Structure 1
Amino acid sequence: MNACISVVCYKSKTLSNGENPLMLQVSKGGKRKYQSLGISILPRYWDFTRNKPKPNCPNREYIQKIILDKQRELQQRMLEFNTEQKEYTTTTLLNNENTKFELKTVSEFYHELIEKYMHEGKCGNRLIYKSSFNSLNAFSKGKVDIPFSNIDISWLTKYEKWLRSKNNKETTISLMFRTLRSAYNKAIKAKCARASDYPFNEYKITKFNTTTSKRAIAKTDILKFKTEIQPVGKRQYIELSKDIFIFSYLCGGINFTDIANLTHENIQSGRLHYIRQKTRKQIKIGIPQEAMRIIEKYSKTGKGYLFPILDSKVHKTALQKQNRIHKLLGKVNKNLKLLAAQLGVEANVTTYVARHSFASVLKKSGVNIALISEALGHSDLATTQIYLDSFDNEQVDDAMKNLL
């Protein structure tokens, strides 16, 4: 008796983004087993009667391809069992213990990963793996069409020396190696590479020094950015750059990407409510009067957003938004460096300095250390935001009085 294979939208489990996972449902001999397809969907885009995505479902063709590929794989496996006259259960059918490796080259696997993240709208992941591939491609002079087994300790040592010869910072080298290691692990899991060839058990990437220099500046230097400024050459966005820096500092160290995505809906009862793009953590924080004045200054020219960074009529896809934010962030950071020089601030000022300075100033003002975490100086301040959210609004508001 053959197994019955179908795909269902698993409503018993709801992910943090409101989507439900798509699951393979295999039934045989009165027993039923489920296996995740690795993708999820909002229930409004799923036809529960026909068990397939609705015509208006985003990435419908991509989802259908994954479903059909997996169904064909299981049907082929059933055919092999029947041909060899072997008994099988739902568990052995899904576990596929006899699966043969479908080895892929580094180039093939990277391109599949990049395409997958693009279809899923995970632009951050896509950019990381694309940067990693471009680095590998430059190092190998375009010869990335190699099996993963070629990446051994000797290969990795040469790659490290090449990265250093290009004057890459230690944090950049660490990121390149961590991304390559991640891709290798994913390839092993997908049976596109062999675990026996894995080089990172011996080649430790923890040796790279990923500590960064302190990014925070003093309150006195922060306040200089509130003064009137003189035009700097013919560069655009000078005033916007300054205002974004101050707004970030005043509003909990909110980063540039989150600022770009703010709309009027994020202001509720005089407070800023938003979900961090990076961690998906919900943030609720008071808006000081100075920050509200900055919002009012740009809200009418925001084209669907609070700040004139994105245009709701132009930047519709996740990739379009990412490209626009990346482009404008570069301009804003260049302007901040020019402003810092003009104001006599001796520091490499970027939008992230506002984020670090927010936490540093509160810490030096005697604010509860649990509120401002010890994650300062590291590239990720997600812990700080988690602590902020765990306290009452009154505690956060009282702490923020120390900013100016």
Structure 2
Amino acid sequence: MPAMFDRLFARLTAFLMEPRALPALFVLFMVPRAAMLLCAVTPTSDAQWYFSRAALMATGAGYIDNHGAATAFWPVGWPMILSLAFRLLGASIWTVGIVNLIAAALSAWLVLDLGRRLSGSELAARIGLLAFAIYPNAILYVPLALTEVVYTALFLSGIWLLVARHGWRANVAAGLVFGLAALVKAQTLVIVPAIMAVALWRTGDMRRQFLPVAWRTALVLGVAGLAIAPWTLRNHRELGAWVVVSTNGGYTLLTGNNDSARGGYTPEDPVVRALEARTDLDELGRDREARRLGTAWIAAHPARFAMLAPMKLWRLWGPDGEGEWAYETGSAAWQAAPRAFLALRAVNQAFYWLLLGAFVLAPFAILARRRATGLPAIDWWIIAHVAALYPSAIAVVFSGQSRFHYPVMPFVCMIAAWVVAQWLEMRAAKRTRI
């Protein structure tokens, strides 16, 4: 039996390294995602808000709430991108799917190229693309009017520009990409200094390289700020206050830190509901009051806040497959075959835990391998784990929700693939010795 598996793994490895494997991998990536568009998922909850706002923006109505007033509660980036597509192709769920499919295709190429640069292994890069291609949750997200697919493409693109390209043009492009990404998810820019810290560390000469890296970081963040500035000015004009991106920071803080909090999002908490019921507060006032209440709760319950941290991290990283929820309420496909969707989610959860397990154990194997070969311990590979720390730190302060780890999953696939590639190469070396 082991010999049979060895032959199977040897054939798979040989195929993955053939030139024809790359087209096959991209076909494997794109076909199921394109097929999912046929499920025609009607937007609900957050997706419905994004879809309806984008449709209004496409008509020139501006970014307004359900009462017709200017708003900045939800970040504008995704509705803005979607509204441009709606102007070209019409406001429909099919347009949403096309935009996400294009973003997914870009992500596929970036996973392959970043996988090469982070691992230094062509085999690992191709296995990473294979893992991301068959990852069910990523496939399920493509028809959905949610931020995750497009944001992940922007997140990967910005990091790729910092890792793979040099010079002021690349830095300006990275700033523009990260600025747009910040308009989709407001906390995005915190990842830039972290990546540049890795860039500085890997030079091996931190004293001499500190200023060049600091100037590069400042340029990227400065351009990102310029990209965000028009929206900030719009908010000042419409809302009368300097709101950089959105006004939901206080609400997000409060819904994760209250007497009902168990690590996740708790809008049903009595304090949250009482705040929502108040009619004497406008959008800005409600945000300030929510921030005050959330901060006061943390100050009054420091031990409870600390105890929530592992619960928040579990909510962030434990479950996966939340893309299936949208099909339950918005797709006839789920109604026709609910057991198939539930079975797919179970398979997805097992696959996710395998990927995550390899990702968690990978640093020990990578450091041992680099030490044995005389390579520096710190290199671009660590960016994958920096990317994972970014939503983790945010979750500890606010709340944990499984969809927030979605943009990190390409990096999880890349590093898990390195572990698999090393194991395959060791098996091949053992067969050769025998």
* Bigger helix share: 2
Decide: shared fold, TM above 0.5.
no
TM tier, smaller = under 0.3
Q: TM-score, normalised by structure 1?
A: 0.22
* Bigger strand share: 1
The structure whose RCO (Cα within 8 Å, separation 6+) is larger is 2
Q: TM-score, normalised by structure 2?
A: 0.21
